[in-house]
């Protein structure tokens, strides 16, 4: 992407009166103060709620779970106290409180909040710089993947031992549910969290996100939501899978409340982040960056954000109503009291399937961004890729019922939704065709980001084809609830989403950390995990075709071999991921220093220095061509310096 910069006259901007030292209350806040205040307020809310409930009810027994009266209310208020206390302790309320007091933020305040000249301390604070937030998202995603991967290893350990209980059945069921939701959250933020925050604003030519403080808010809401989810394992667990169908889930232990609070808070986090990303792209693109010049990765992030903004509230509503049934004794999902379980299933799956594309689209778009750079040729059919992205966004609204074929709800709708589900494979195939077309007759530079492209294409083909099988009502009746389904969605979420994210992280790692990722060690980890992935989930396909149901602790000996192979493969995945993580950590600490544009890309983030300056660009760029003009002469390259200076005061700062 050719870029020029218009040099504007610097004008003094009147500032409000500085109240106190820059940053004010934020000088006293960090992750430690957030944890302490969260724990303290959680304890206060717990004991005050207990006293109030005891006074109102006079003791007694909870009606459906034989739990002490008021415990559900106490646990709920404890989690709410934790969220409020944590956010207060990290400094999330400092800006609104200053505004209410009439203390407008000065430029010095804004620079402190952005972490300027703060060193590593800024990563532990409520920092508004989009680059810091991107790194924070990356760290949180790695922690979540570590937790989810550990739970997966425990699950496969249990399934690798036939007719022997390594874990208590209730705890095993809790492992299944917690692993599922932890990995779903991790996959949702894997690309749009780190790269959507760090890369997209620079790629658009902006100096920050549209709403910097909301950007920090979305990150720390996610962090605050993690402990309630993890704590469910200590409070009876979630034993109904990550879908936690009602009304069965209403009978679960109080650990279920942690799950519900997590989803409610996480939905706020994704909604805020989605609004911020969309607004940034729509309103803050560089001059000359028309919609036909927007990098395809930006389109992928916008498409994912649109789906998150529309569909995540459905998931949130489902859990708000479920929490109300538990705590306030309402009956939204209790048929005996006039409720409907169909309400829950429809609300859940309205998000449950678009969530797949929320994960896969940005990972695929990142690979489409990588391919022209490593193939040194333009992206094949840029407009077809955009049509594929937004075709998926549109059709994602009309596919959720294929998850309900076997429930008995509206059986006459099965075949229309079978058709809509098969139709969504068309725009999905557009993206695959663009990838194949870009590869055609190319001479690839075989670095890790490009190798990830080949891995993801393989996984997407397998995941896509098996998904077509499951979209057909007659076939789904046979394979419903089997290990075949588990293998299919892992090929989509992990095979396409996670391996795509690994390739994207490898590509932008030098820009984010100022150092190259260790190519040899990271590649060993990547391909080890890839081979283990194939072993694990091909064995699950076999077990599913044999008839093995998912979410079972014990199984027939006919499934022994498939499960043993799958468990071995899972441990290979774990080894590969640990090697990749080791490569990231060691490279981050002491890797080879990277230049500003290590891959020779044409997009705007490649035209900045590394490390990226505090405000990204010394002067705002002006875009003069599309980002995939490899082999096309830059018109400004043909002008000498005198002609450039005479061209309306425009000076060239970066060109292809």
Residue 231 DSSP symbol: H
Cα angle 307-267-50, degrees, rounded to a multiple of 5: 160
Q: Rounded CA gap, 155 and 483, in Å?
A: 14
Report pLDDT for 6: 43
Please provide residue 5's backbone torsions phi and psi, each rounded to the nearest 5 degrees: -130, 130
CB atoms within 10 A of CB 16: 12
Q: What is the mean pLDDT of each successive set of 10 residues along the chain, which is 656 residues long?
A: 48 68 84 97 95 75 51 94 97 88 80 86 94 96 96 93 80 93 95 96 94 95 96 89 88 91 96 96 95 96 95 94 92 90 93 91 96 94 95 93 87 89 92 95 92 96 90 87 93 94 96 95 97 96 93 87 94 97 96 93 93 91 89 56 49 38
Burial classification of residue 203, based on how many CB atoms lie within 10 Å of its CB (0-12 exposed, 13-18 middle, 19 or more buried): buried
What is the dihedral angle through the alpha carbons of 92, 95, 96, 99, rounded to the nearest 10 degrees?
170
* Per-residue confidence (pLDDT) for residue 3, from 0 to 100: 55
CB atoms within 10 A of CB 598: 19
pTM of the model: 0.92
Q: How far, CA to CA in Å, does 498 sit from each of 114, 300, 504, 526?
A: 30, 15, 10, 11
Reading the block at residue 236, the tokens are 């009876």
Backbone angles phi, psi at 52, to 5 degrees: -65, -45
Query: Which tokens sit at 634?
Result: 């830059």
Contact 348, 318 (CB under 8 A): yes
DSSP secondary structure letters along 534-561: HHHHHHHHHHHHHTPBSS-SS--GGGHH
C-alpha 19 chain-centroid distance: 38
In the chain, the domains with their CATH numbers are 126-590 (1.20.210.10)
List Cβ<8 Å contacts ≥24 apart for 46-50.
Answer: 46/74, 46/75, 46/77, 46/78, 46/81, 48/77, 49/73, 49/74, 49/76, 49/77, 49/78, 50/74
According to DSSP, residue 61 is labeled B
Minimal CA–CA distance to 532: which of 470, 589, 576, 501? 576
Q: Nearest CA to 218 among 396, 87, 314?
A: 87
Peptide bond between residue 247 and the one before it cis (omega within 30 degrees of 0): yes
Pairing between β-strand 621-623 and β-strand 3-6 as defined by DSSP bridges: antiparallel
Q: Encode 263-325 in three state secondary structure.
A: HHHHHHHHHHHHHHHHHHHHHCCCECCCCCCCCHHHHHHHHHHHHHHHHHHHHHHHHHHHHHH
**Do 209 and 215 contact (CB within 8 A), yes or no?**
yes
Under DSSP, is residue 655 helix (H, G, I), strand (E, B) or coil?
Answer: coil
For residue 164, count other CB atoms closer than 10 A to its CB.
8
CA geometry: angle 353, 357, 360, nearest 5 deg: 135
Q: How confident is the model at residue 115, as a pLDDT?
A: 86
**Do residues 548 and 482 lie in contact, with contact meaning Cβ atoms separated by under 8 Å?**
yes
For tokens 């022994």, the residue is 560
Q: Residue 520: which residues within 8 A CB-CB, separation 6 or more?
A: none
Confirm if 309 and 278 have CB atoms less than 8 A apart.
yes
**Residue with structure tokens 């739970």?**
151
Let me know if 99 is exposed, middle or buried by CB neighbors in 10 A (0-12, 13-18, 19+): exposed
Task: Work out the angle at residue 111's Cα, subtended by the Cα atoms of residues 109 and 113, and round it to the nearest 5 degrees.
Answer: 70
pLDDT at 645: 53
What string of H, E and C letters represents the secondary structure of 516-534?
CCCHHHHHHHHHHHHHHHH
């Amino acid at each position: 992407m050719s870029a020029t910069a218009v040099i504007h006259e610097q004008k003094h901007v009147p500032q409000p009166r500085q109240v106190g030292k820059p940053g004010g209350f934020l000088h006293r806040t960090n992750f430690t103060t957030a944890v302490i205040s969260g724990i303290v307020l959680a304890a206060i809310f717990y004991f005050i709620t207990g006293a109030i409930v005891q006074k109102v009810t006079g003791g007694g027994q909870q009606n459906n779970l034989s739990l002490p009266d008021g415990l559900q209310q106490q646990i709920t208020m404890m989690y709410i106290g934790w969220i409020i206390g944590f956010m207060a302790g990290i400094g999330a309320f400092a800006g609104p409180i200053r505004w209410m007091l009439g203390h407008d933020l000065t430029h010095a305040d804004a620079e402190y909040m952005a972490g300027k000249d703060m060193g590593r301390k800024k990563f532990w604070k409520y920092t508004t710089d989009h680059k810091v937030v991107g790194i924070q998202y990356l760290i949180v995603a790695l922690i979540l993947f570590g937790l989810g991967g550990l739970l997966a290893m425990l699950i496969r350990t249990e399934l690798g031992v036939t007719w022997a209980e390594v874990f208590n059945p209730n705890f095993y069921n809790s492992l299944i549910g917690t692993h599922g939701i932890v990995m779903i959250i991790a996959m949702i933020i894997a690309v749009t969290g780190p790269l959507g925050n760090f890369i997209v604003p620079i790629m658009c030519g902006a100096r920050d996100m549209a709403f910097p403080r909301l950007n920090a808010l979305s990150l720390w809401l996610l962090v605050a939501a993690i402990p309630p989810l993890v704590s469910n394992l200590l409070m009876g667990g979630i034993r109904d899978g990550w879908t936690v169908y009602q009304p069965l889930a209403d009978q679960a232990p109080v650990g279920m409340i942690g799950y519900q609070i997590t989803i409610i808070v996480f939905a706020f986090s994704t909604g805020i982040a989605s609004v911020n990303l969309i607004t940034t792209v729509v309103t803050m693109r560089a001059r000359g960056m028309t919609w036909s010049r927007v990098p395809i990765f930006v389109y992928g992030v916008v498409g994912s954000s649109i789906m998150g903004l529309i569909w995540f509230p459905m998931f949130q509503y489902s859990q708000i109503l479920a929490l109300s049934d538990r705590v306030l004794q309402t009956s939204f999902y209790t048929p005996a009291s006039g409720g409907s379980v169909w309400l829950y299933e429809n609300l859940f799956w309205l998000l449950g399937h678009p969530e797949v594309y929320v994960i896969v689209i940005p990972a695929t778009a990142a690979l489409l961004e990588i391919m022209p750079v490593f193939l040194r040729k333009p992206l094949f059919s840029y407009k077809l890729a955009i049509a594929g992205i937004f075709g998926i966004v549109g059709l994602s609204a009309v596919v959720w019922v294929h998850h309900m074929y076997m429930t008995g709800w509206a059986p006459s709708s099965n075949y229309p939704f079978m058709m809509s589900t098969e139709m969504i494979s068309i725009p999905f195939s557009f993206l695959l065709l663009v990838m194949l077309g870009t590869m055609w007759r190319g001479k690839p530079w075989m670095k890790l980001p490009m190798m990830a492209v080949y891995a993801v294409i393989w996984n997407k083909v397998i995941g896509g084809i098996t998904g077509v099988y499951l979209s057909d009502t007659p076939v789904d009746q046979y394979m419903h609830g089997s290990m075949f389904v588990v293998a299919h969605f892992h090929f989509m979420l992990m095979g396409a989403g996670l391996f795509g994210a690994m390739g994207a992280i490898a590509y932008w790692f030098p820009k984010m950390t100022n150092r190259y990722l260790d190519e040899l060690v990271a590649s060993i980890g990547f391909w080890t995990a890839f081979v283990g992935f194939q072993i694990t989930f091909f064995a699950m396909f076999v077990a599913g075709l044999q008839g093995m149901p998912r979410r079972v602790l014990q199984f027939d000996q006919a499934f022994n071999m498939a499960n043993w192979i799958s468990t071995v493969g899972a441990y290979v995945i774990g080894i590969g991921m640990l090697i990749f993580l080791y490569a990231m950590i060691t490279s981050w600490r002491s890797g080879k220093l990277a230049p500003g544009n290590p891959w020779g890309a044409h997009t705007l983030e490649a035209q900045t220095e590394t490390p990226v300056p505090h405000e990204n660009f010394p002067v705002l760029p002006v875009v003069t061509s599309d980002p995939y003009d490899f082999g096309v002469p830059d018109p400004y390259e043909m002008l000498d310096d005198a002609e450039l200076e005479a061209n309306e005061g425009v000076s060239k700062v970066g060109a292809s």
